[in-house]
Amino acid sequence: MVNTQRLYLPNIEFAYETSFHAQVTEVHEQTVALDRTLFYPLGGGQAWDTGALNGPNGDLRVTEVNGKDTILHAVGENHQLEVGDEVSGIIDWQRRYSHMRMHTAQHLVSGVVYEMFDGARTVGNQINSHQSRIDFNPISFDEEMLHLLTLRVNSLIDEAHPLFDEEMSKQQVNAIMPEERTNMSLLPSSVKTLRVVTIGEMLDLCPCAGTHVSNLNELGHISIIGKKSKGKGTQRLTYELGTPNSIRSPRTRQI
């Protein structure tokens, strides 16, 4: 079993890559593993990328991607790929970019809620293309709170803060942010080094292996379209994003 190299991870800019080459390392009835990939697998609340692989027998649609160390790409039956085959891949950019915008918005909203409402924590999230959701605890939002939250988040988006990522140790993260804000307790003790995503001058700092945009001006204004109680002091907010002030194009080179 060969660990798959995640090509979208070196830094935020690599999330804008869309094409890559790879070698098949495992073959199953409906899935294949590659030595390297740009496809984001389901994880961290973020949905997977879709797209296509082109191999010796033509194009194959990638409909689902899963895995932690070895990433499996669902390509359907009769794919006819074999271990050692060379393939090229391309991701569905519109789906990827929607996830990048939504995931960045989740970080921003989570940071603002924590600062505005007595340290309410993010305890769950689900990132999708058209709308996404975040679970907070402990909190009970009323309409005025949601109005103030929306105004603050959209103001920060208009200020066009950049995003950065870097590797940090748990100790370094804990020296900057309280553990309950970064959910450090949820990480396995075996994890020593973290990929950390920061918005602006510490508007939010969060260990995360997801894909994100490079600037808040790519988000568009947020609209909170739903609020639901999940019990025991937890409330779920559902949101969507409007038209962004700036739209970045994908990189078209093959890596």
pLDDT of residue 172: 87
Sheet of 163-169, strand order: 163-169, 193-199, 204-207
In the chain, where are the structural domains located?
5-91, 96-241
Separation between Cα atoms, residue 7 and residue 183, nearest integer Å? 25
- CATH 3.90.1170.50 corresponds to the domain 5-91: no
8 A C-beta contact, residue 2 and residue 35? yes
pTM over 0.85: yes
Q: Cβ neighbours of residue 193 under 8 Å, at least 6 residues apart?
A: 167, 168, 169
Show the DSSP H helices in 117-244 as ranges.
143-158, 170-176, 179-182
Exposure b/e, 203-216, CB count within 10 A at least 16 = b: bbbbbbbbbbbbbb
* DSSP symbol at 4: P
pLDDT of residue 188: 67
**Which regions of 173-214 does DSSP assign to beta strands (E)?**
193-199, 204-207
Length of the chain: 255
pLDDT, block means (10 residues), the chain with 255 residues: 92 97 96 98 96 95 96 94 97 98 98 96 95 97 98 98 93 81 70 89 91 97 97 96 94 90
Q: Are strands 51-55 and 86-91 parallel, antiparallel or unpaired?
A: antiparallel
CATH topology agreement for domains 5-91 and 96-241: no
- Judged by DSSP in three states, 226 sits in strand
pLDDT of residue 185: 67
Separation between Cα atoms, residue 176 and residue 102, nearest integer Å? 25
CATH topology of domain 96-241: Threonyl-tRNA Synthetase; Chain A, domain 2 (3.30.980)
Query: Which residue(s) pair with 91 in the sheet?
Result: 51
pLDDT of residue 175: 84
Q: How many helices (H) and strands (E) does the chain have?
A: 4, 17
**CA 44, 48, 54, 60 torsion: positive or negative?**
positive
pLDDT of residue 115: 95
- Judged by DSSP in three states, 119 sits in coil
8 A C-beta contact, residue 141 and residue 235? yes
111: nearest Cα among 171, 158, 67, 152: 152
255: nearest Cα among 13, 1, 69: 13
Separation between Cα atoms, residue 197 and residue 212, nearest integer Å? 9
- Model confidence pLDDT, tens digit, residues 12-63: 999 999 999 999 999 999 999 999 999 999 999 999 999 999 999 899 999 9
Q: Are strands 64-66 and 36-37 parallel, antiparallel or unpaired?
A: unpaired
